């Protein structure tokens, strides 16, 4: 039998696309559905798609209605990803992750661990220490200026794996309107807040973050190949 391939190693380059205009959520779902099917059928490469959404809330399969605090504030989309409520909007870098776990090894936990390490390595490029917590999803930063035990979430992970191809992905707060998180209980966690690179005093651009994301991704997952956003229409 062939040996199991690590999530972190794949000789084939992953397509890397960046959309500069805001992407409607329905369009993102459509692109992901068609692309994951094409990956599964061997008609398309794996894909990382970086984008921004207009302001909206999404609810994962574990979302609780009581965690939607202001139902009329923004559009709400019910999704088939894991997790609970989160906010997407301008200034937040969303990365949709379409990887073939059939060829990389059927290890969902390993994929999530690598996504966490990807985000932590990206934050380290800006001298930010991101951390994981066993009882909380996402990436967290300590806020000693606010109190010894205060931590804020800077990045979320919400994934779906269907027939061993992943979709949905991660969201890293670069400089979003953090007040919009007040309309939900982010990821069902009431006792901690959210932050961003800008909130931490780092006025970096999305371009800066994209460069760091790509470099740290390649170290963990293998090579990438830039493509134009119109090549997403498969």
Domain harbouring 128, CATH code: 3.30.930.10
* Per-residue model confidence (pLDDT) at position 185: 84
List the structure tokens of 77.
């989309």
The model's pTM: 0.93
Q: Judge whether 3 lies within some domain.
A: no
Q: Is the pLDDT of residue 1 over 70?
A: no
What's the domain range around 100?
14-232
DSSP for 122-138, please give it. HHHTTT---EEETTEEE
Q: Judge whether 22 lies within some domain.
A: yes
Q: Judge whether 29 lies within some domain.
A: yes
**Quick check: is 187 catalytic?**
yes
Q: Judge whether 186 lies within some domain.
A: yes
* Per-residue model confidence (pLDDT) at position 83: 87
Q: What is the mean pLDDT of the chain?
A: 92
Total structural domains within the chain = 1
Give 82's pLDDT tier (boundaries 50, 70, 90): confident
Catalytic entry in 139, 187, 206, 213: 187
With the CA atoms of 169, 23, 65 and 34 taken in that order, what torsion angle do they form, in degrees rounded to the nearest 10?
-60
CA dist 225 and 203 (Å) reads 28
Q: Judge whether 212 lies within some domain.
A: yes
pLDDT single digits (tens) 120-144: 999 999 999 999 998 888 999 999 9
CA dist 61 and 78 (Å) reads 8
pLDDT single digits (tens) 181-190: 999 887 777 7
Q: Judge whether 52 lies within some domain.
A: yes
Query: Mean per-residue pLDDT for 33-53?
Result: 97
CA dist 148 and 122 (Å) reads 25
């Amino acid at each position: 039998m062939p040996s199991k391939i690590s999530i972190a190693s794949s000789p084939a380059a992953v397509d890397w696309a960046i959309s500069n205009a805001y992407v409607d959520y329905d369009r993102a779902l459509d692109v992901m559905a068609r692309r994951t099917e094409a990956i599964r059928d061997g008609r398309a490469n794996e894909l990382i798609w970086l984008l921004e959404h207009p302001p909206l809330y999404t609810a994962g399969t574990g979302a609780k209605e009581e965690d939607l605090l202001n139902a009329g504030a923004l559009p709400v989309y019910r999704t088939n990803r894991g997790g609970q409520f989160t906010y997407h909007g301008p200034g937040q870098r969303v990365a949709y992750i379409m990887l073939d776990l059939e060829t990389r090894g059927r290890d969902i936990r390993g994929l999530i661990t690598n996504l966490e390490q990807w985000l932590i390595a990206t934050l380290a490029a800006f001298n930010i220490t991101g951390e994981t917590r066993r009882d909380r999803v996402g990436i967290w930063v300590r806020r000693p200026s606010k109190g010894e035990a205060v931590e804020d979430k800077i990045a979320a992970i919400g994934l779906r794996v269907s027939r061993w191809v992943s979709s949905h992905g991660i969201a890293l707060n670069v400089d979003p309107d953090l007040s919009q998180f007040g309309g939900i209980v982010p990821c069902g966690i009431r006792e901690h807040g959210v932050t961003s690179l800008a909130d931490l005093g780092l006025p970096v651009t999305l371009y800066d973050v994209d460069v760091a994301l790509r470099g740290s991704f390649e170290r963990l997952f293998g090579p990438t190949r830039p493509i134009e956003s119109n090549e997403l229409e498969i």
